[in-house]
Amino acid sequence: MSLLLTIFAAVLGAVVGSFLNACIHRMPLGLSLTEPRRSFCPSCKKTIPWYENLPLLSWLALRGRCSTCGQGIAFRYFLVELLTGVLFWWVWESYGLPLAAPYWVFVSLLVTATFIDLEHFIIPDEITWGGVILGLGLSIALPEMMETSSRLTAAGLSLGAAAFGFGLLFLVVEAGKWAFGKIKHRFPDGEVFDWQREGDQAEIVLGTEKLIWMDVFSREKDVLTIELDGPVNVGGREVTASKLVFHYNQADLAGETLDLDSLERITGRMRSIVIPREAMGFGDVKFIACIGAFLGWQAVLFTLFSASVIGSLAGIAGMFLAKDRAGTRIPFGPFLALGAGIWIFGGRLLAEWYFSNLPNFRLFFEF
């Protein structure tokens, strides 16, 4: 019976992983998770029959290709199913009932958030705020999650940990914005800039660098300031000014406010540019609140510490191993998910070991 339950947990995880793949593909695109109900090929949109939608097996049998159009199906689909199956098995082996059920929900949120953030640099509110609500509700139903027998106490601990995580990372984000919220480039010989809009999307080209407009403006109060080097071409007419100030949906130029929704292009030369930037996305702030609601305040501290260490090491490694991509934006959500996962599978023991050996570490560094 024990072996059967273990196998069931792994198979259940792989099946859930198949659903998570649908979430990862559809949620960032604003597509419904219920319509169409059946999975479809991302390339030809053909509905995939059930016998070609078996977790893990179908991807291997089809060699990662659609049977209709022959286009490749990303390895991510196989990886998510495998990872979720392993995590469900590991949770079952570590906790059993009743805690396995809420932790299965939690690791599903971690997997979904990780792969969406890696691809789109966002973590949807359905995962973050939805996760807070789920964590609070499950903690009330199973107060063992907060290591208490009182539902009221569990509710307070879960909600308090969510607020603690949110507040702590919010302060970090605000401090980072204050300290590193702007980056300035100077061009003594001048440089061309070209702002263009196509439909609902816009971008600005700065010499050889291209910035997506929605990535530049994460806050309504953010501004991008350009010191001009000559006249500016605004939709076919030339305007002479010393400065051009962009907001997300408008621009200030020579005392005139330009509605960017009604313009297709603004070009000119610049002497300098000041670009707003964030130390961290606000989705990460909400994500740590979700982690706190499920795991408690100790897990919040452990997750932030371990995610910062692992993220720093990954960033340093990236600078040496991928010099051609130095400065590439790295999402922080996957590191938060990894830190929370470590906590679930032994983080408390790791923290206890660290603090019990802290004097030894101190002596080592003094030596």
Task: Encode pLDDT of 30-59 as tens digits.
Answer: 888 877 767 777 777 778 777 878 899 989
Residues of the chain with pLDDT > 90: what percent? 64
| 32 and 155 inside one domain | no
Dump pLDDT digits (tens) for 194-203. 999 988 889 9
User: Total domain count for the chain?
Assistant: 3
| 188 and 248 inside one domain | yes
| 75 and 160 inside one domain | no
Q: What are phi and psi of 2, to 5 degrees?
A: -60, -40
Above 90 in pLDDT, residue 220?
Answer: no
| 21 and 80 inside one domain | yes
User: In terms of Cα–Cα distance, which of 244, 264, 248, 273 is closest to 256?
Assistant: 244
| 336 and 360 inside one domain | yes
pLDDT of res. 203: 93
Residues of the chain with pLDDT > 70: what percent? 94
Q: What is the mean pLDDT of the chain?
A: 89
CB count within 10 Å of CB 146 equals 25
Residue type, 323: K
Burial class (CB in 10 A: 0-12, 13-18, 19+), 312: exposed
List, in sequence order, every residue forming a beta bridge with 19; answer none if it has no partner. Answer: none
| 15 and 78 inside one domain | yes
Kindly state whether residue 214 falls inside one of the protein's structural domains: yes
Above 70 in pLDDT, residue 138?
Answer: yes
Strands 237-239 and 232-234 turn out to be antiparallel
Range of the domain at 248: 183-276
Model confidence at 103, pLDDT cuts 50, 70, 90, reads very high
Kindly state whether residue 233 falls inside one of the protein's structural domains: yes
| 213 and 190 inside one domain | yes
Boundary (domain end) residue, out of 218, 245, 276: 276
Kindly state whether residue 318 falls inside one of the protein's structural domains: yes
The model's pTM is 0.83
Above 70 in pLDDT, residue 362?
Answer: no
Contact 115, 24 (CB under 8 A): yes
pLDDT of res. 367: 46
Kindly state whether residue 363 falls inside one of the protein's structural domains: yes
Alpha-carbon distance of 35 to 272, in angstroms, equals 49
Kindly state whether residue 92 falls inside one of the protein's structural domains: no
| 44 and 58 inside one domain | yes
The two tokens of residue 227 are: 């010191």
CA distances from 226 to 190, 206, 265, 323 (A): 11, 11, 15, 29
